[in-house]
Structure 1
Amino acid sequence: MSTAPAATGPSRFTPSPLDPLPHQLLAALAQHRMATTSQLHLLLRPDATRQSISRPLNQLRARGLLDHTVLPRSNRTRAWYLTPEGARLTRDWPALRGRPPYPITSANAASLKTPHTLTTLRAHLAFAADARRRGDEHGPLDWTPEVAHPLSDSERLIADAVLHYTLNESRQRRKLRAFIEIDRTTMSSERLAAKLIDYARLWSYHPQAAGRRRTGPGAETGPLWQRWYPLYPRILFILTGASPQRLAHRIEDLQDMTAQHPHVAALAREVPLGAATLEDLEAHSPSAPVWTPLAGSPEPRPWHTLTP
């Protein structure tokens, strides 16, 4: 990884209101942690030339707000990320409120995060392209990676991403949310399926005040997830990194967990659960019938038609 020139300081950088692309690039990298030039092109300016993205990226790097690492065996593909100066600049932006920027400070740190981060963004790009084609609402910041939710005083569930998506169908708008789990086949199938247990725990988790149950008008009577979501998000597993047969077996293990674990089975009676391969999403789109339900009829269907 090459070293960026000395920063001029975040106070010196003000994106032009006539050309918001530099602002959008910084916000996208603050949100997604890391992205290649091609991914930023598809995310922010899919109808423009690649040069329209690479030029402002290099300008932001010259100001010390971004840096990049070159991916191995990739024909010198660059993966971009915020420097500490870029993270300080974006920390208080309204669109990123509650989403602390994540600067990457070394080539080693970048290499550790790169495979999973870029794969997660590939999944987001499939949904973003589908939304543009369908006329739905799903923007660059409507996909939030690495969202933590407490399961107890000492445990957390970290979703690989939370998807926000608005369907525009028959003059009606329907807001959908989903927890996204990205499986690159780097863990055992049993560990992958066990994530369903954590999502079931979050679904039923009611925090209690220390020492006694809270009562009165200020007491929380519902599960903790209702602090953030009006409905519990559907759960979507996106698999890649192995042969179609092996991925199919992992989906079967997710179905077995759903059928055999009583807490997960209870969750599945209330919340849509589905799984698909990343390659199918990219080849056919998320709104194609490529999602295997984890409960009920196994007939593949679009993600937004999955039902409990």
Structure 2
Amino acid sequence: MPPVEATAAAAPTRSSASPTRSFHAIGGEVLELLYQHRVLSTQQLHVLLTLPEKRPARPVYLRWQLGELLQAGLVDRIRAQGPGGRGRVQSQPFLWFLTEAGAESVEEAGELPARPYRVTPESVAGARQAHTLAVNEVGVAFVEWARRLGHECGPLDWTPEVANRIRDGQRRFEDDHVISDAVLDYVHVENGRRTMLSFFVELDRATMTSARLAAKLQAYGRLYEYVPQSADRTRRTPNATRPAWMYNYPVFPRVLVVLDAAPPKAGEPDRRPQRLAARTEDLYTRAGADVRLSRLKGDINIGVTTLQQLREHGPFAPIFTPLLLGTPATRPAPTDLYLATK
């Protein structure tokens, strides 16, 4: 069997195996996670599958399981790209994804909604690799902080690339839909009170202009107001005046923009904090200038933070800038996710 990480992992002993889940059960969970999230690093899988109090220093048991799945032809792997596609290949972690046989095995089990998309080595190695991993890193951060805070957010509680129609017509799919990088569900638990939160997640790695990102945020305003038109207007029912999003969500999800950027080249100063702060300023100005979003500021909530802040401080620390509150002269200070989106 080929090595699974930098070196081959020995077969786990009884003491190194999970005391509550069998080898087969963990393998099934790996397949489900890769089916839903498309591609995950070894470390991301390790965090999602192992509770903090039972997590060993190195994911030896998981690496053994991945090796078995690899040998069975259910998963495949490639090395991650370095910063900007550079770096020593052997120093980069493995990225894991399902083969066609692995995807079919998950679909046969019928535990997850079927997804027609298939992952290939070429798609994993493509230009969106860093973006896909960063979107999943947002989900991983929410899972970790939910565990710490006693809230609920599991490894399958976010779905990547969810499309919602924003107008009638037969134009390009991208023109008629807003495609969220992910939709994430979270249950906030405090003093026995459970508050269900949903988020449209937009992960921005500063690779597009702020104008394009602002246009995507403006599309959420169109989604909020979009009412599908019936082909037969004479048979229209009262439900025909309901916005389309109400058929999929009990309340309109909060829009969460998470900013990230590629690390600097060797020897260059790290200017990411300044770049992302300037990007937040640009988004605040552009969102406030949009007529529809300004009109809907009591109905739509948009908050901006950085991936680094989310990892380090969690979603209930004052790290979110609400885009539709105040004016440039009276702009509110960053607040926590719960207050920023109530």
Please confirm whether the aligned pair reaches a TM-score higher than 0.5, indicating the same fold: yes
Deviation of residue 160 (structure 1)? 0.2
Larger Rg: 2
**TM value normalised by structure 1:** 0.89
State yes or no: 1:25 paired with 2:30.
yes
Equivalent position of 1:63 in the other structure:
72
Aligned to 2:55: 48
Report the Cα offset of residue 280 of structure 1.
0.8
> In the TM superposition, what whole-angstrom CA distance separates every residue of 1:180-239 from its partner, at most 9, and x where no partner exists?
00000110111111111111111100001125364236x433100011101000001000
Give distance in 2, aligned partners of 1:149 and 1:270: 18
- Give how far 1:268 is off: 2.1
Tell me the SS of whatever aligns to 1:120: helix
Contact map agreement 1:180 1:237 (CA 8 A) in 2:
yes
What residue number does 2:135 align with?
120
1:109 corresponds to: 123
Alignment match, 2:212: 191
Native 8 Å contact 1:82 1:102 kept in 2: no
Matched, 1:234 2:254: yes
Written as runs of structure 1 = structure 2, the 5 A alignment for 1:1-308 is 18-19=22-23, 20-46=25-51, 47-49=54-56, 50-72=59-81, 73=87, 75-97=91-113, 99-100=114-115, 102-106=117-121, 108-112=122-126, 113-152=128-167, 153-154=169-170, 155-210=176-231, 212=233, 214-216=235-237, 219-241=239-261, 243-296=272-325, 297-307=331-341
Give the Cα–Cα distance (whole angstroms) in 1 for the partners of residues 235 and 156 of structure 2: 36
Checking the alignment, whether the CA contact within 8 Å between 2:221 and 2:300 is kept in structure 1 is no
Distance 1:52 1:263 in 2: 52
Unaligned runs of 5+ in 1: 5-16
1:28 is displaced (CA, Å) by 0.4
**Amino acid of the residue matched to residue 229 of structure 1?**
Y
Query: After the TM superposition, which of the residue ranges 142-151 and 74-83 deviates more from structure 2?
Result: 74-83
What secondary structure sits across from 1:162 in the alignment?
strand
What code does the residue aligned with 1:48 have?
R
| TM-score when normalising by structure 2 | 0.80
Aligned length: 292
Cα RMSD after superposing both structures:
2.1
Which residue identity is paired with 1:164? D
SS of residue paired to 2:233: coil
